[in-house]
Chain A
Amino acid sequence: MDLFSSHTLLFAGKWLFVALIYGALFLVVVAVRREMAGRLPGGQAPASTAVGRLVLQQAGGDPAARPGAVWQLKPDTTLGALPENDVVLADPLVSGRHARLRWDGAGWWLEDLGSTNGTLVNGQRLVPLTAHKIAPGSQLHLGDMVLELQA
């Protein structure tokens, strides 16, 4: 049998075709897996024991707040003036639902929920409705209040 007959070539091509498609599928799976690994370090479940706290630096217009006050953070923590928030900030310039802090297993993400006066991190204004990764030690400005993220 002629090894280089068109029949053999087409047969080899058919399987190469299948191999390439599965190669693409393999790359897709690897990418998904890498993404998941980035979110869940060491393959652990998403840390329900998210480590982090907010420390009040400047009380702004909240009469009840004292600098040095500490809030322990949940993996999903809301900040705002309304009492239903996890972190209640009674400053007149803080919106009812102002911002949201989320733990992705490796770091904290802050999102401004479309507040009236915006949120600043280390002096930089956040684009509203977009999650931004923030480093431990960052200063968060909401209205006239300043909080420090400690992880």
Chain B
Amino acid sequence: MSRLARLSPRRTERRLLLVIFAVAVLGFLLTGLGLAERQALPLASAILPALIPPLLLAVLFGGLHLVLRWCRLEAEQLLLPIVALLSTLGLIMIWRLRGESGVYQQVVRGFVPGVVIMAALALRPRWVEQLRRWALPLSLVGLALSLATAFFGVVDETGARLALKLGPLPAFQTSELLKVALIIFLAGYVAREGEKAEGRARPLLGWLRLPSGQYFIPGLVFVGMGTLALVQMSDFGAVLILGLLFVGMLYAGFDTRLFATVAAIGAGLALVVGFVLVFTWHIPTVVQLRFQAFLNPWSEAEMVVDGQPTGVTISEGPGYQIQQALNAAITGGLSGTGLGFGSPEYIPLAHSDFIFAALLEEMGAVVGIAVLGLFAVLLLRLLRLAALLPPAQVFERLLLTGIALHLFTQMFIMVGGTLNLLPLTGVTVPFLSQGGVALMLNLAEVGVALALTRRLEALPA
């Protein structure tokens, strides 16, 4: 019997991908028709161009589905459809906001390399073991790249130094790379030294136990250097994510008593350092402005930096983008204005940071809630997979925990910022926002999860 005939069916995944293909065709068609209707162009001319992006998505994700069937993998049929649906919704919004060139840029720089990496990881799950072996050098390269960006990076039109240009390659943002480097670093370090260091722990106060410094000081140094690079880049969203990843992965990797001790010491130190910074030095200007805008984005009061008025009111300054995002969400209401009928072009950065606001305006809260639901299922699937892996595979379990936290916190911070529930910090929404490197890395992270799924497969008896 040929190998093709014995491929695993993956029926749930196939059914879901077919529904998602319908979503893509309908979504792109509606966007094209909506825009044509609005500009009073003949509707028929909008149909053909709208069919190309769904076909591209179908080729990529359908191909990945076939690769997984080729691997005869039967487990975990939800990760791929969830990623495909989020990517589809994001690509529809990018088409709406940036036109065809935006879509092709996203597909060529993000989807194609990302999906190729996913397929390669699914076919060669042993590469994850290579990742463990090379964890330290890889993560140090990531750290070095972001430090290089912070001090020698390309200055973009807004004056921020976020991208690095190496030789003939196009400039790329490195803060995403730093987060992935931290995940790999912590997973590798805890897996290698964890048991030894826990054995050396000393009793501190009753229930609390102090781990030996060797255990957490390298992680602290890594996070410290990364934070330095990001503060230099003024990328405070990334600082927040880096901190959340650090705390989350230590919680997953440490014994509870050790974690409680380290967390208490860390919180105390953070308070002290925070107060010292506030009273002797100054809070970074961006943070001051963001907080004032967060507390009242409509305020006509002047913004204050270090006690000095700046001559610009909050609502004209950083409050403006929050206002526009909230306006978009309110305009959209329950079911949205319809694709192509809103005016998301008034939202600054609608295609990247604020893509969720643009989505709320044109697709409405119903679709927004569905997106949040998809992210919740994604988080649970990844954590469940981490829990199902054998306890001895510390590196793999921590890697998955870090990946789950990375994807979820980005979405959480950005949606919170969009709805003014959190101070605004610019990060991308995984799978939705435009951004080649970020999308590629997020897809690769899901690829790692697929590769590890293969370890759970039982052989046919």
Contact = CB atoms under 8 A, between A and B. Distances in A.
Main secondary structure of the interface of A (DSSP, over half): helix
A82 interface: no
Given A17-B26, A24-B81, A27-B12, A130 B374 contact: no
A4 interface: no
Query: Which among A15, A23, A31, A129 has the greatest number of chain B C-beta atoms within 10 A?
Result: A31
Contact of A130 (B16, B364, B458): B458
Interface string B227-252: 00000000000000000000000000
Contact of B26 (A11, A13, A97): A13
6 closest A-B pairs by beta carbon, nearest first, are: A24-B19, A20-B23, A132-B458, A31-B12, A13-B30, A133-B458
A100 interface: yes
Given A25-B374, A135-B461, A10 B37 contact: yes
B20 interface: yes
Contacts of A9: 33
A130 B457 contact: yes
B335 A15 contact: yes
A6 interface: yes
Contact of A14 (B43, B336, B456, B461): B336
B37 A129 contact: no
Given A6-B43, A10-B37, A27-B16, A21 B370 contact: yes
A129 B19 contact: no
B308 interface: no
B26 A10 contact: no
Interface of B: 12, 15-16, 19-20, 22-23, 26-27, 29-30, 33-34, 37, 43, 77-78, 81-82, 85, 89, 335-336, 338-339, 363-364, 366-367, 370, 373-374, 377, 390, 392-393, 455-459, 461
Contacts of B370: 21-22, 25
B459 A132 contact: yes
23 contacts: A10-B30, A10-B33, A10-B37, A10-B338, A13-B33, A15-B335, A17-B27, A17-B339, A18-B364, A20-B19, A21-B23, A21-B370, A25-B373, A27-B15, A27-B16, A28-B16, A28-B81, A28-B377, A31-B77, A32-B377, A97-B392, A132-B459, A133-B461
Nearest to B77: A31
Given A27-B16, A27-B19, 14 more contacts: A10-B34, A10-B338, A11-B338, A17-B23, A20-B22, A22-B366, A25-B370, A25-B373, A31-B12, A129-B392, A130-B456, A130-B459, A131-B456, A132-B458
A37 interface: no
Contact of A113 (B34, B374, B390): B390
Interface of A: 6-7, 9-11, 13-18, 20-25, 27-28, 31-32, 97, 100, 109, 111, 113-114, 127, 129-135
At the interface, is chain B mostly helix, strand, loop or mixed?
helix
A6 B42 CA distance: 11
B459 A111 contact: no
Nearest to B21: A20
Contact of B392 (A18, A20, A23, A113): A113
Nearest to B336: A14
Given A24-B85, A135-B461, A18 B335 contact: yes
B81 A23 contact: no
B461 A129 contact: no
A11 B34 CA distance: 10
A22 B19 CA distance: 10
Nearest to A135: B461
Nearest to A104: B388
Given A20-B22, A24-B23, A25-B373, A129 B390 contact: yes
Interface centre among A11, A14, A129 (most CB of B within 10 A): A14
A109 B390 CA distance: 12
Contacts of A15: 335
A67 to B, nearest CB: 26
Given A17-B27, A133-B458, A24 B338 contact: no
